Structure 1
Amino acid sequence: MSRMIFINLPVADLATSVAFYEAVGATRNPQFSDETAACMVISETIYVMLLTHPKFASFTARPIGDRSSVHALLCLSCESKDAVLAQLQAAVQAGGIPDPTPEQDYGGFMYGRSYEDPDGHIWEIMWMDPAAAAGATEAEGTA
């Protein structure tokens, strides 16, 4: 069985966050959603749990961060540079803030952009040419 990841994110307005994540391609799993949480499916192995502040606080004694600090950068791959740009455009149209981190353009090898969701969580989206990546890995192994 493939390993799965569940990313738990505190959100100020659950409905707004659900709408945002649906706009960038996630689907809501009602089986694991209620008035305090929404399970957003990104892929067969990647799930984002959007949790109201009280629900999130029930899992930790630490304070919930705000936009003045960053504790993680989340990165998702895309199948092409065009898919990166399409997801960025969808995020911006849904109210996201584009490029809180610098654009990464490595020519034909790799391309990445980023956006903030309504709560300031930063998502990087990137495409990498698998053939070029394999060549880079092979070259590193022979050095």
Structure 2
Amino acid sequence: MSKMIFINLPITDLARSTAFYEAIGGRKEPKFSNDQAAMIVLSDAINVMLLTHDFYKGFTGKPIADAHRSSQVILALSADSTANVDATVEKAASAGGKADPGPRQEMGKLMYERSFEDPDGHHWEVVWMDASAAERGASAFEEA
């Protein structure tokens, strides 16, 4: 089995957050969802665990940050095309998120990136990268 990632996010309104992530293309997994948490499947390897604050507190003794006011992590998802980047960000904005809290990054034919925040302020980037640029790595961007 390949490795999977489970991103645990503290959220203030489970129904609102579930609807948001479904609107941007996620699928709720009922087997791991209840009135305190919802598992949202983004791909075969990426899952977002939406946890109410009370439930989230059971996993850490640290205070929960207000993602509208501070940043701890920026999460990034790949996209198949620049059009898919735009579509994902627009879906996020239409579903109650915020489009482009970070700067757009347009690197010609090499890379295109936009971002969004979910209703709780969690910052996500959506990135398309040319396959040959990805294969060459950082040198592709130095040559551009």
Query: After TM superposition, is the score higher than 0.5?
Result: yes
Tell me which residue corresponds to 1:110. Answer: 111
Q: Residues of 1 paired with 2:138 and 2:17: CA distance? A: 38
Distance 1:137 1:123 in 2: 22
Separation (CA, whole Å) in 2 of partners of 1:69 and 1:27: 28
- 1:94 pairs with 2:112: no
User: Once the 2 structures are TM-superposed, how far is the Cα of residue 68 of structure 1 from its aligned partner?
Assistant: 1.2
1:11 maps to 11
In structure 1, distance between residues paired with 2:96 and 2:38: 19
Distance 1:106 1:120, change over 3 A: same
Partners of 1:87 and 1:15 in 2: how far apart? Answer: 20
Alpha-carbon spacing, 1:76–1:28, altered in 2? closer, same or farther (3 Å): same
C-alpha change, 1:47 and 1:120, in structure 2 (3 Å) is same
Distance in 2, Cα, partners of 1:76 & 1:113: 10
Task: Look up the match of 2:24.
Answer: 24
Which residue does the alignment assign to 2:72?
71
* Aligned equivalents of 2:33, 2:13: Cα separation in 1: 14
Percent of residue pairs identical: 51
1:49 is paired with a residue whose SS is strand
Q: Secondary structure at the residue paired with 1:3?
A: coil
- How far the C-alpha of 1:133 sits from its partner, in A, is 2.3
Q: Deviations over 1:74-105 (max 9, x none)?
A: 00000000000000110011011011111010
1-structure distance, mates of 2:103, 2:2: 32
Going from structure 1 to structure 2, the CA distance change for 1:52 and 1:107 (only over 3 Å counts) comes to same
Structure 2 residue aligned with 1:84: 85
Distance 1:25 1:3 in 2: 21
Distance in 2, matches of 1:135 and 1:60, equals 40
Aligned residues: 140
Query: Aligned letter for 2:119?
Result: P
Q: Give the partner amino acid of 2:9.
A: L
Q: Does 1:124 align with 2:134?
A: no
Please name the residue that 2:51 is paired with. Answer: 51
